[in-house]
Structure 1
């Protein structure tokens, strides 16, 4: 392995970004010569200053970039272009890498078996709602050509070998937080699988998610957004010729028990809304 690039994108969440950067395991970054790429996603707050301050306070390599418009897919692509290492590690500005994350990744990543992976996403604050997390604690492979359900691996804890980018391209720049549809992370992994790459889930890779949402309106809105993104993802994959994604996605929606407080039919309706939005945006040449 020829090194790691950690890519973090942020838009108008300067205080959260500051906490994220303060909790980076600096000793591991220095020991393993990790490269940090920070992308300012067209912020209008103090994000640029927070990033610049971090550069002067650490000894490992840091690059700061600015995207011309919002959208995490676009921002992550900028980060990829600037990165110089083989393994690309993605996390979010409201997340904290575990202190042993870099060591565990170096120990366990096996390019011959899989070319992308994710891991556990745990609550940092246990009073936050149990949303946008993944507590699964067993290793599994995701075979090339197989279906990957939304949420199996999340962009807050995702590792991609550069070979994938070289073959299938980067993230869809018109998807992701900051755009109308959020499914940029899982859509890239779906394309990778359909192009012969294999994935894995490594529970040793732990990221803590400090999303700060409590049960109530905020969580209801987040779940609705996730439903819409899931439907858009299945539609997008089917539109690329991988029609099994629509079948498998809808089957999963009809047979999986929804989360606390969710209605199964409302989840399905939200997913269909997401699929409709995808095709409408495509017709308007916005995808």
Structure 2
């Protein structure tokens, strides 16, 4: 009887896999699209894709697809992606976006995505096997018109405890909380309707762009100003293998984040002036630190002063970009699905 039950379960799983594959093949919109943007991280990317495949195989009744955007890799990523897509049981669309910048790559991914829920995962992250189940539960039982982010744990204990979020308490963004890091871009989800309302990522922000970071934070602010809630949930977990083991590497990243956040203060000066309040609080904390007060991050010994200086530099740089007419805002442009001829998929 046990063997019969085990065989029946295997047969049922195989049937569910065929049903899910048929749904995608017949043009039905899948429940979720995972969007992974990558550049020269072949080994980490392969592990990321395996984790997504495992999560999808653990719950095949939930239809899903994967869109991988190669943002100019030179390490053999395109060929490896073709091999992975050909061997995978899930639908994988490989998109080439030669223009540099994470925001640009995210926009390309959104254009190719067909799912009702868009899931942004970084290429150096691995998702938990129950991720898809958690995702469906939140969007079935909770509010759908929301940007929702999940827990981010360290992938390796030897990495510095940065770019993670381990809180076990659900929360919603308010004006009293700085939006930077409230929901991390490496684990950010939204309904397609939200993406249509907010629009494209601003390509002046993010890694590989003039402002180096904060394309995700800018997106949160724009959604918040439209009355769309921004929610953190303590599950939907990903493990971040960021590989930064030295304090110097974290300090550089910390400065880049502060540069982008400073630019946001100027961009949203009139629509979200409450961001300036957070800058003022940072200046106050920096002055307090000078007289023996706490640092921004006591564990990593990160100071408030680089935040202040890089915020100011980011504000000045954004003003220069506007005056120079570089990187025109893109959020007013709607998200549209690309024609099949632009895709390389399985």
TM-score, normalising length: structure 1: 0.92
> Given the alignment of the two structures, is residue 237 of structure 1 paired with residue 277 of structure 2, yes or no?
no
- In the aligned structure 2, how far is the partner of 1:121 from the partner of 1:40? 23
The 1:104–1:12 alpha-carbon spacing in structure 2 relative to 1, beyond 3 Å, is same
**Paired residue for 1:270?**
310
The 1:227–1:242 alpha-carbon spacing in structure 2 relative to 1, beyond 3 Å, is same
> Given the alignment of the two structures, is residue 7 of structure 1 paired with residue 35 of structure 2, yes or no?
yes
Contact 2:153–2:240 under 8 Å retained in 1: yes
The 1:215–1:68 alpha-carbon spacing in structure 2 relative to 1, beyond 3 Å, is closer
Shift of 1:233: 2.4
**Higher mean displacement: 162-171 or 185-194:** 162-171
- In the aligned structure 2, how far is the partner of 1:29 from the partner of 1:118? 20
**Paired residue for 2:242?**
211
- In the aligned structure 2, how far is the partner of 1:253 from the partner of 1:119? 30
Structure whose CA Rg is larger: 2
- In the aligned structure 2, how far is the partner of 1:111 from the partner of 1:62? 28
> Given the alignment of the two structures, is residue 162 of structure 1 paired with residue 206 of structure 2, yes or no?
no
- In the aligned structure 2, how far is the partner of 1:46 from the partner of 1:198? 40
- In the aligned structure 2, how far is the partner of 1:170 from the partner of 1:284? 21
Shift of 1:66: 0.6
- In the aligned structure 1, how far is the partner of 2:317 from the partner of 2:127? 34
- In the aligned structure 1, how far is the partner of 2:196 from the partner of 2:142? 15
Listed as ranges, the gaps of 5+ residues in structure 1 are none
SS in structure 2 of the partner of residue 81 of structure 1: helix
Contact 2:146–2:228 under 8 Å retained in 1: yes
- In the aligned structure 2, how far is the partner of 1:61 from the partner of 1:253? 49
Contact 2:260–2:311 under 8 Å retained in 1: yes
- In the aligned structure 1, how far is the partner of 2:59 from the partner of 2:309? 44
SS in structure 2 of the partner of residue 23 of structure 1: helix
Contact 1:228–1:274 under 8 Å retained in 2: yes
Q: How many residues align?
A: 285
The 1:230–1:4 alpha-carbon spacing in structure 2 relative to 1, beyond 3 Å, is same
The 1:64–1:113 alpha-carbon spacing in structure 2 relative to 1, beyond 3 Å, is closer
Map 1:7-26; keep pairs closer than 5 Å.
7-24=35-52, 25=54, 26=56
Shift of 1:161: 1.2
**Paired residue for 2:146?**
115
- In the aligned structure 2, how far is the partner of 1:254 from the partner of 1:207? 34
Shift of 1:135: 1.0
When the two chains are superposed, the root-mean-square deviation of aligned CA atoms in Å is 2.1
**Paired residue for 1:286?**
326
TM-score, normalising length: structure 2: 0.77
Contact 1:33–1:60 under 8 Å retained in 2: no
**Paired residue for 1:101?**
131
- In the aligned structure 1, how far is the partner of 2:310 from the partner of 2:191? 33
- In the aligned structure 2, how far is the partner of 1:116 from the partner of 1:150? 14
Higher strand proportion? 1
SS in structure 2 of the partner of residue 200 of structure 1: strand
> Given the alignment of the two structures, is residue 174 of structure 1 paired with residue 204 of structure 2, yes or no?
yes
Instruction: Give 1:136's match in structure 2, choosing from 164, 167, 182.
Output: 167
